[in-house]
Structure 1
Amino acid sequence: MNRRFSGCMAVAALLVALTAGCGTREQPLPSPHEVTDTTVSVLDGMSLNDYPGPKAQIVYADGQADFFCDTLGLFSVFLRPEHDRKIGAMYVQDMASTDWRHPVGHWIDAKQAYYVVGSKQLGAMGQTFASFAKEDDARRFMQAEGGKLYRFDGISIDMATTDGGVVKDQNM
């Protein structure tokens, strides 16, 4: 009986291990929305097509999107403690794949991107967080344009203020 019980427990443990991931599979990210001639920043109504540098967007769980004329705007909204709307995904543009003066498409997951903060290149609001899909591209940009490399979780609310916070980072 003891041997039979042990066998049943082993089978039960195997079944639990095999089904542990069932029902918890990560949902695919909702697709990014494309910028049109009428797309404006949620923060100030600026037309995204009128300004240089990387753009950003938050796609909410309900499918609606908020656009930002600058990656700095995305962080300034996302990192606020009062931000509680359910987010489906956040996107920034891969600046190694699009023109800095007129960026189009090339949306990448903001949480997976590499950011160069404090470079000489200016975005719509001045200083910006240059976003890249690949670390090597970010490092090449940083060597040419200055700044410091960060991952998504390394950017703090103090850096992402629209009152010059990016320039306040004394670590650059």
Structure 2
Amino acid sequence: MTCSCFTRRHTRRDVLGTLGLAAFSTLLAACGEKAGEAPSLAPVEIDRATSCELDGMLLADYPGPKAQIHYAGQDKPAFFCDTVELFNTLLAGEQVRAVRAVYVQDMGQADWNEPKGHWIDAKTAVYVLGSKRHGSMGPTIASFAQQADATKFAGEYGGKVLRFADIQRDMVDLSGGALHDTRM
């Protein structure tokens, strides 16, 4: 008796597809998720002691949108006191940690000077780059849930409206912010 899997001629696509699906299922299982289910990680609210992953600054002490990344295998999210820091981290060539979820604040709802809550999925957000409004590190990238809010903000404060995928590494240079922060 011959197993049918040995008598059928497998194409390269069959083999690669099976291997890819097996690797994907293994990766999801390692992250505690079942195949076919999307990760369901809720954003975590900041408090007075929440500090930035990159520089230790307290998020609550600074204006502008904040961000958080939930990495696979890490219980607590990494927080960022500025969206420029977030994008600099995500777009870094050396970024190798698996990202499960990314959140930014909806500045159409949150108070710019003391942003709390209003977390949205960073990948679906609309951004304004190059406005006159500053965040914790100087010029920042404002984040919005709604295109209309981003367009209104750009009309009032200047800047270019962009989607997540439009933001490139050369747009998120961190060299200026820390050099000009007198409160550090």
TM range (shorter): 0.7 to 0.9
SS of match in other structure, 1:115: strand
Deviation of 1:33 (Å): 1.1
Aligned pair 1:75/2:87, yes or no?
Answer: yes
SS of match in other structure, 1:117: strand
Deviation of 1:36 (Å): 1.1
Distance in structure 1 (CA, Å) of the matches to 2:159 and 2:40: 30
Residue of structure 2 equivalent to 1:94:
106
SS of match in other structure, 2:131: coil
Match of 2:71 among 54, 57, 60: 60
SS of match in other structure, 1:119: strand
Residue of structure 2 equivalent to 1:134:
146
Residue of structure 2 equivalent to 1:30:
41
Unaligned runs of 5+ in 1: 1-22, 166-172
Match of 1:41 among 52, 60, 63: 52
TM-score (norm 2): 0.74
TM-score (norm 1): 0.79
Q: Output the aligned Cα RMSD.
A: 1.5
SS of match in other structure, 1:102: coil
Distance in structure 2 (CA, Å) of the matches to 1:122 and 1:102: 13
Residue of structure 2 equivalent to 1:20:
none
Quick check: 2:39–2:100 contact (8 Å CA) kept in 1? no
Query: What percentage of residue pairs aligned between the two structures are identical?
Result: 52
